[in-house]
Amino acid sequence: MAKSEQEHEGPVIHDRRRIDPRTGQVKDPTGGAAPGRAAQAAVAGVAKARAAKQSGSKAGGAKADKQADKQRAAAEKRITELEASVAERTADLQRVTAEYANYRKRVDRDREAVKAQATAVVLAALLPVLDDIGRARDHGELEGGFKAVAESVERLVQKFGLESFGSVGEPFDPTIHEALLHSYSADVSEPTCVTLVQPGYRIGERIIRPARVAVAEPQPYDPSGGEVAADGSAEDSPDSADEE
């Protein structure tokens, strides 16, 4: 084997790179360092492709941002509409709840009024019976079984809130008293109940029947010095008659 062949037995490396790594220049296809037209065209194509890619990426990013902003605005608008709808429904619910509460109060009030009215009607029908019991007690005739029945009736009406009022000596009040008789008396300083004809009855503040009484008023003053008759007319004194 020849000596030249032994010197070339190692691996042979062929540098096919178009760009010289030391100078950065495009190699000549023929082996020189100066770039040829084909290489320049290739480099220009690569640069154009990269620029087009970057431009496309920027355009795509701007389009995506614009679409995201549009979706965000639509979502915010929808949220605003939903919040307004929720506020409106809440106001409607509160109004209906308040109306229902007022309706229940009104129904309860009307129910109590009807109940009180019915109770008053029934108790008013029993007042003559209570008057008879009172007269029998005053005359000492409330005895035996009749006494037990009478006391049961009185307890029953008291259970429903009926109470009697009116007594001798209390001031006359036209809102709770009914004057059946009228007279003058020197023993009173204001209109006063001097006789209780029939007691009055009430349920709470509601008057079922006023107390029926005889009323006496203070003696009228006669400037002439004469006496005043029971009907309020002045009478001449005996001294005045003698002088005439």
In a domain, 170, yes or no: yes
231 pLDDT tier (thresholds 50, 70, 90): low
Instruction: Confirm if 18 and 11 have CB atoms less than 8 A apart.
Output: no
Instruction: Confirm if 213 and 178 have CB atoms less than 8 A apart.
Output: yes
pLDDT digits (tens, 9 = 90+) for 41-88: 666 766 677 666 666 666 666 777 788 888 888 888 889 999 999 999
242 pLDDT tier (thresholds 50, 70, 90): very low
* pLDDT value at residue 116: 87
Identify which has the larger pLDDT, 74 or 30.
74
Which residues of 10-165 form beta strands (DSSP E)? Answer: 162-165
Identify which has the larger pLDDT, 225 or 16.
16
The domain in which residue 219 lies consists of 161-226
Per the structure, how many domains does the chain have? 1
In a domain, 182, yes or no: yes
Q: Which two tokens stand for residue 220?
A: 């009228």
* pLDDT value at residue 221: 66
In this structure, is the dihedral angle defined by the CA atoms of residues 48, 49, 52 and 57, taken in order, positive or negative?
A: negative
In a domain, 241, yes or no: no
In a domain, 134, yes or no: no
In a domain, 188, yes or no: yes
- Find the CATH number of the domain harbouring 207: 2.30.22.10
* pLDDT value at residue 227: 52
Residue 27 scores a pLDDT above 60? yes
pLDDT digits (tens, 9 = 90+) for 121-152: 999 999 999 999 998 988 888 888 889 999 99
Phi, psi angles (nearest 5°) of residue 150 = -60, -45
In a domain, 215, yes or no: yes
In a domain, 113, yes or no: no
Burial of 213 (0-12, 13-18, 19+ CB in 10 A): buried
Helix 37-138 / helix 144-159 crossing angle, nearest 10 deg? 150
* pLDDT value at residue 74: 87
Residue 243 scores a pLDDT above 60? no
In a domain, 167, yes or no: yes
